[in-house]
Amino acid sequence: MSPPAKPGPVDRGGAPRSFDAHARSYDKLVNLNPGYHDHLRMSVRRLGLPANGAGLKLLDLGCGTGASTAALVEVLPRAEITAVDASAEMLSMARRKNWPSTVRFVHGNAENLAMSGIVGPYDGILAAYLLRNLVHQDAALRQFHRLLRPGAPIAVHEYSVRDSVRSRARWTAVCWGVIIPLGRMRAGSADLYRYLWRSVLQFDGVTALTKRMRDAGFEDVRVQTVPGWQQHIVHTFLGRRSAAEAEAEPPDGVLDPPAASLADIDADATTPIEGLRITPSPRPRPEPAPAPDPERAE
């Protein structure tokens, strides 16, 4: 049996171990974050799956204590959901909650899902606040792509601030003014929350992540942000496996990536991200544009 997890310095590959140490206080902290659960539900709705999800098989990667799983259940209550996480403690907190019989939790590494018997195909994937923590992000995205049925969507729900000076500044102010002190108070250690701050600053900007998704084979890649203080900080990165694609695919590394181009960023927000061209979405969007928040005006 491995020794109990202790707080300590965190790196990308070691994140699940650190989440073990913080699992008990995780829900209290995210519940203090206004919009956290709403934004997860928003990303699920943006998948554009048929109402109530009957007959669909969905994957929640990096489900943690089940906040993203709950969002899937609320929006698509009749779908069959497999929720995966590498942290045994986060999963144990998730399993203590009440779930319908359509939900199952699997302890496994999202970088090697076949090892945990996750082979697909799935009708949709949600990966909320996961990708940034993975070591081999390109390979992981290619694997998620392969697990989808042709035509099926993915929503990568993630912080992405690199392309915007204002987003980076607001992120740093919220982390050092609120999240890190709260983490220290509630969890007795702020290591995970300092890692959160740092890892988000180091992670892809919107342009880089949309390119990364296209290079992994996703088509129809587009981005929408969320309202609240997280506007232009948290985004839903959407993509789908080509409907025309055959099930058989060349092995990793020999995919012919589509030409890199600037992402289509939905004009969902009141202010554009500096340096990015905002283009209207080619299809009707289910989400209404968030009202400008004068309190947060930049």
Give me the least distance between CB of 122 and ligand SAM, in Å please. 16
Residues between 33 and 72 that touch ligand SAM (CB under 6 A): 40, 62-64, 67-68
Q: Is 172 in the site for ligand SAM (CB under 6 A)?
A: no
Q: Is 203 helix (H, G, I), strand (E, B) or coil?
A: coil
Using the rule CB under 6 A, give the single segment among 11-19, 45-53, 145-153, 232-240 that binds ligand SAM. Answer: 11-19
For residue 46, give the amino acid letter.
Answer: R
d(CA 25, CA 19): 10
Interface with ligand SAM (CB under 6 A), residue from 10, 44, 73, 86: 86
Mark 94-133 with x for binding to ligand SAM (rule: CB under 6 A) and - for no binding. ---------------xxx----------------xxx--x
Interface with ligand SAM (CB under 6 A), residue from 10, 134, 141, 161: 134
Number of residues that bind ligand SAM (CB under 6 A): 23
CB 155 within 8 A of CB 237: yes
Comparing CA positions, the residue from 56, 49, 55, 61 lying closest to residue 118 is 61
CB 102 within 8 A of CB 78: yes
User: CB-wise, 128 or 209, nearer to ligand SAM?
Assistant: 128
Give me the least distance between CB of 203 and ligand SAM, in Å please. 13
Collect all residues with Cβ–Cβ distance below 8 Å to 140 and sequence separation of at least 6.
Answer: 110, 111, 131, 134
Q: Is 90 in the site for ligand SAM (CB under 6 A)?
A: yes
Q: Is 94 helix (H, G, I), strand (E, B) or coil?
A: helix
Comparing CA positions, the residue from 190, 191, 187 lying closest to residue 22 is 187
What do you get for the CA distance between the two ends of the chain, in Å? 51
Contact residues for ligand SAM, defined by CB under 6 A:
15-16, 19, 30, 40, 62-64, 67-68, 84-87, 90, 109-111, 128-130, 133-134
